[in-house]
Chain A
Amino acid sequence: MPVEDRLRRGLEANARAFVPEGEKRLVEVRRRHRARTGTIAAAMAAAVVVGAVFAGTLLGGSDRSASPQPAKGPTEVSTSAGTYAGPRIPDSGWRRVVTREQFVRAGADRAFLADDFGRADRLPVTLSFIGTVYSLSGRYPAGWSVGDAGTVEYAPDGRLQLTSTAPGCRGCVGSLSWRIRGNRLLLGGFRGTPDDPMASVMLEGTWTRIGD
């Protein structure tokens, strides 16, 4: 085996085996934060439900001769319109490689290709999810650089919604369907506001889990 291949494999294996204590602590902090936020949200929802039921009982009780009214308040809360309670993407890092050809096919201009690829044909990309934030980094000719970052939300139908907070496109929203199969994350059905074919090329596809 060429020594270059051996080195790449060995260094990758050794690096992946190293999980910094700081990273473990960050995961713990995020887990506690999520648990606390979830508890507070559940408590508030319960308080609203109880309050609405109590109010409904009082109003219903004030006019006993009237026909019973449907308790609108609690019903609206329990449907939790606009929220998504299904599975979410866990805190994790994912990587894939996009190619110059994919971007050319999507209509990328020369300036975009020069900035992102230089003379290379491949661009390794890393996508990280930490709590309610994400970051998308590309290994550009000048080194690793943050390509995009922002917040993660889920639509009521479970679609992933990424809202950029990066200066390049602050407030841009990309929505994708997603599923995790083993150590693969599949992103597809990109819908962007505004529409962005380059973001679609960057995000859609199969991602491989890194770290962990």
Chain B
Amino acid sequence: MRTAQDREYDWYFRACFAPVSRTVFLIVHDRCLAEDITQEALYRMLRHWRTVSRYEAPDAWVRRVAIRIAVREVQRAAARPVKERLGQPAVRYDDLPDPDVARAVAALAPMQRAAVVLYYWEDRPVAEIARVLEVSESTVKQHLHRARHRLAEVLGEEVSGDAG
């Protein structure tokens, strides 16, 4: 017999899986890795369910954990020696509807990447991005500012005054 707690966890699993995977995918650009990271975050929620279930928004906790894992993965991948990276399967950007944006975002530093995805895809306020990435608000603004200029250059678009 399933307990109410199990059912509640299931509900959060169903509610979180797809949206969190999509955000993580925009950061790591790897379908399997995005799902693995989301499952890892959901597994951690299950492990700490007694505590997490008391939070106001357990789904926000899962998202935060998943994004932090994703950023670490990207940082780790960037730190790998070139030869090791060549052994990894190449990301197929051309399969995506907007490969130029995917390539341009992938060329950003890991933290800039995450800040851009959270700001422009999830519409998160700067303060929340700062909490998720465990940096100050001014650091997030700096990441966004630099990323915007870099992306405008790569994509051949103009930079307008934007919040953040």
Contact = CB atoms under 8 A, between A and B. Distances in A.
Interface residues of B, number: 47
A143 B57 contact: yes
A22 interface: yes
B160 A2 contact: yes
Given A18-B34, A22-B39, 12 more contacts: A4-B160, A10-B98, A13-B101, A15-B22, A20-B34, A23-B17, A135-B11, A142-B57, A142-B128, A143-B57, A144-B57, A149-B11
B70 interface: no
Contacts of B14: 26, 130
Interface of A: 1-4, 6-23, 26, 124, 128, 130, 133, 135, 137, 139, 141-146, 149, 211
Interface string B15-52: 10111011101100001001100110000000000000
Contact of A3 (B18, B23, B39, B157): B157
Contacts of A20: 17-18, 21-22, 31, 34-35, 38
Interface of B: 11, 14-15, 17-19, 21-23, 25-26, 31, 34-35, 38-39, 56-57, 59-60, 63, 95-98, 100-102, 105, 116-117, 120-125, 128, 148, 151-152, 155, 157-160, 162
